[in-house]
Structure formats: C-alpha cells, structure tokens
Amino acid sequence: MAFGRRNRPSLIQTAARTAVITGTASAVTGRAARKQAAFAASQPVAAPVAAAPVAAAPVAAPVAAPLAAPVAAAPVAAAPVAAVASPDELIARLERLAALHTAGALTDDEFALLKSQAIG
C-alpha cells in the first residue's frame, strides 16, 4: 500500500494554482476600481437642491446617497480670534492658516478673512 497524494495535485501545484487565482482576482478588482473611478470623475457634479419643508409628512427611511455624489459642506463661520501675545505666535498662526489653505481646507475668502483677523 503506497502512501502519497494519488489522484490529487501536489502541494506545489496547489500553491501555484492559488497564486494564479489570487493574482487574477487582484487584477480584476483593480480594473473594476479604476473603471468606477473614471466613471465617477466623468460625471458632472450636480448642485444640491434645497427641499421645502412639508407639514405632517410621513417619515421615510433614509436613502443611501450614491458614492459619487459629493457632500456639500456648510460654510465655516469665522471664530473670534484672541489677541496674539507675541510675534512668534502670530507667525505660527499664519503658517497654520497657510497650510490649511494650501491643503484646500480653507477657501480664498475664508483664508483672507482669518488672516486679516489674526493680523488685525
């Protein structure tokens, strides 16, 4: 009686087949992700529409928004700026504001407003 893997693939064949299946799955997943990203980038961004309030309307279950739709952020209200005690603190604050503006967290108008408040 012989021991072994009779009528079954060897361990190396099994490992090779698993590697091929994994590589194919990764390639397909990556291609699908790139295709979805290209499709989302090609779609125009629609402006948000404000809904009028309805009195005594039944509450519906929330509907999940599509992944490609951006979420509109509420305008940022400028917080009052405390008096800066030293020039070093002023420079540090202006550098933080510039970094936020460069990163896109502040619009040009918000950056100008906060900068004038910091200096002012």
**Contact present, 117 and 81 (Cβ < 8 Å):** yes
- Report the predicted TM-score, pTM, of the whole model to 2 decimal places: 0.32
d(CA 105, CA 99): 9
d(CA 25, CA 27): 5
pLDDT at res. 26: 74
d(CA 113, CA 95): 15
pLDDT at res. 109: 92
pLDDT at res. 113: 92
d(CA 54, CA 37): 36
pLDDT at res. 25: 73
pLDDT at res. 60: 60
- Per-residue pLDDT 10s for the chain (120 aa) are 556 667 777 778 777 788 777 777 777 777 777 888 787 777 776 656 565 555 555 556 565 555 555 555 556 555 555 554 688 888 888 899 899 999 988 899 999 998 888 887
